[in-house]
Structure 1
């Protein structure tokens, strides 16, 4: 466990926290006017591996070799030249901070950080971070990496085994009570879709019927060439029997603490998916309620309320898909670069 303290006066600014894997869609918006929940679970934090915040430079001001050295392999609108390593946590885990009154601007329903850091250390007044809670943005508190120090506060949380991940972690429900897709599902699927398209090599990819098809088939059919599937993708991971036949591409969970993907059998390409969404796909219960009288038999569900069903297919979140694709070295291949350019041109 760790706490973060003010780099100027050493005041403690957070509750004890455990580090978890970086969330690839942490900076991305979702929908229009949608109120998103808190990004991070209480008691956890993640570290952005890329620079964030101002100053920014447009793509035409950047040498492509310099961008590649930073892990960006295709044109993007702009790149941050701020400090790397921003820390994100749940707002409720921030202690000893106060809002800076003149920095409380937002687009619609709350704070979005447009005026710069809006949190200060309550003891010394040093700017230490930014509270975000505007609509279409994840509710979060971001600590500036140069304004805080990380201090050990007890033993680190042990890294869970894959068996423990399956036993302890709860899969994120795919839909809410109103039939809307959970934003985490659509965003996580959009990240994985970029990896899946890159792993295809430009060939059509088929997925089995069921929840995997609901998550990926529509976008795969739109992005890859038409025709009979040349490759097969399926779920693989802890707690599941190996698919038969063995797929060409395995959609595997990312460890929630380390971010490392589960390793499939040799010769099978691995495509990572956030563990909470992978668990929801791998261990879903698609049994429909059935009429019955008297005492309910084991394994039979009540029919009130009915389980929620999605009212539409999963949508590709284009900004997340393109952001992920631009960070994959495979995007330099001609066919994938052409796909990337075509998708990007739709938003110019």
Structure 2
């Protein structure tokens, strides 16, 4: 349940296996890989997410599925490999796990750490039941994936903290573009295409155009009449928008619903907040005050990587493959071609 804290306990002996955690949407890059880099934790402390689709081993090939079986698995375009694993796996940050012991020999074919293998690599310390898999190999988000049939979710009755939108900068600590931003915008790009119906999209000047402009220009035809895309959410108007980039709704886990009828496309809270909310207007101490509505013009230029921002193509394809509209010829052609 969204908005309240839960504890996951062993289905066999009832031992607590996590601290109290609150459910959030599954990050777009949960199952992606990133070369040879050491990755940070996928989940923020005190949160968990549920993957509604099959994930983990065993794996098969797309060609083994018929159209009906693929659709039953939520797939409407080719994905390689196809997971034949369980639905509903729960992912938490490694630091939020309690009462388990590690079984390193159950790790899969890993490089510098552990990854999901044929058998779970974490056991309940109380009864020895296999309950979860630790992931910390290079190129993979650090996470613990809990087997859905091995645990029970126990609501604590304690509500989560009041929601605060904390902007997440688009740069990572090393000065490159943030993986979270690239994953989130790759997934959002797929939903923007679906919402467009194949019509051109008009973006406002600024960071939205820098993020989405080039791939949309490559994917959609030019020419009027374009559909208007903008930002909406708590405290923001959405009048005149055809498609609105919004945060997730805390109560439902789905996109926040605009009041003006725009089609919503969700972004993670931190990405949405950086795009939508006003930032600091006086980064350098100054004497006196400025009139309301007047911003300083002596900001230092923000850090900016030497290379152009690109939404993550893996996240784009993985998201579009799970949209039923991907079976339409024009979208299938874009799925196959990419940007």
| TM class, shorter-length | 0.7 to 0.9
Map 1:1-348 onto structure 2 (within 5 A). 1-29=5-33, 31-104=34-107, 107-114=110-117, 116-152=119-155, 154-157=156-159, 165=163, 168-227=164-223, 230-242=226-238, 246-256=240-250, 258-285=252-279, 295=287, 307-343=302-338
> Hey, what's the Cα distance between the residues in 1 that align with 2:288 and 2:99?
53
List gaps (5 residues or longer) in structure 2: none
Deviation at 1:8, TM superposition (A): 2.3
Q: 1:132 Cα shift?
A: 0.9
Tell whether the 8 Å contact from 2:181 to 2:311 is kept in structure 1 after alignment.
no
The offset of 1:9, in angstroms, is 2.3
List per-residue Cα deviations over 1:264-304 (Å, max 9, x = no partner). 244422222222211111025386978x9x74756759978
Q: Distance in 2 between the 1:157 and 1:239 partners?
A: 23
> Which deviations, in whole Å up to 9, do the C-alpha atoms of 1:70-113 show, x marking residues without a partner?
32222222332222111111111111111113124563332122
SS in structure 1 at match of 2:18: coil
Alpha-carbon distance in structure 1 between the residues aligned to 2:296 and 2:308: 27
- Report the secondary structure of 1:315's partner residue: coil
Q: Secondary structure at the match of 2:216?
A: helix
Distance in 2, Cα, partners of 1:2 & 1:214: 39
Q: Distance in 2 between matches of 1:193 and 1:182?
A: 16
Map Cα deviations across residues 171-212 of structure 1 (whole Å, 9 max, x no partner): 211113543111111100000000001111222222111111
Worse-matched range after superposition: 136-145 or 68-77: 68-77
Q: Which runs of 5+ in 1 are unaligned?
A: none
- Gap change, CA 1:78 and 1:303, over 3 Å in 2: closer
Deviations 1:241-272 (A, max 9, x none): 336xx122221222256322122244422222
2-side partners of 1:15 and 1:287: how far apart? Answer: 39
**Whole-angstrom CA distance in 2 between matches of 1:239 and 1:85:** 34
Structure 1 Cα separation of the partners of residues 68 and 114 of structure 2 = 36
Supply the distance in 2 between the matched residues of 1:2 and 1:268 (Cα, whole angstroms).
33
Q: Deviations over 1:115-151 (max 9, x none)?
A: 5321111222221111111222111111111111222
User: Which stretch shows the higher mean deviation, 181-190 or 106-115?
Assistant: 106-115
RMSD (Å), alpha carbons: 2.7
Which is worse superposed, 271-280 or 87-96? 271-280
Deviation at 1:324, TM superposition (A): 0.6
Give the C-alpha shift of residue 238 in structure 1: 1.5
1:340–1:176 Cα change, 3 Å: closer
So what's the TM-score if we normalise by structure 2?
A: 0.87
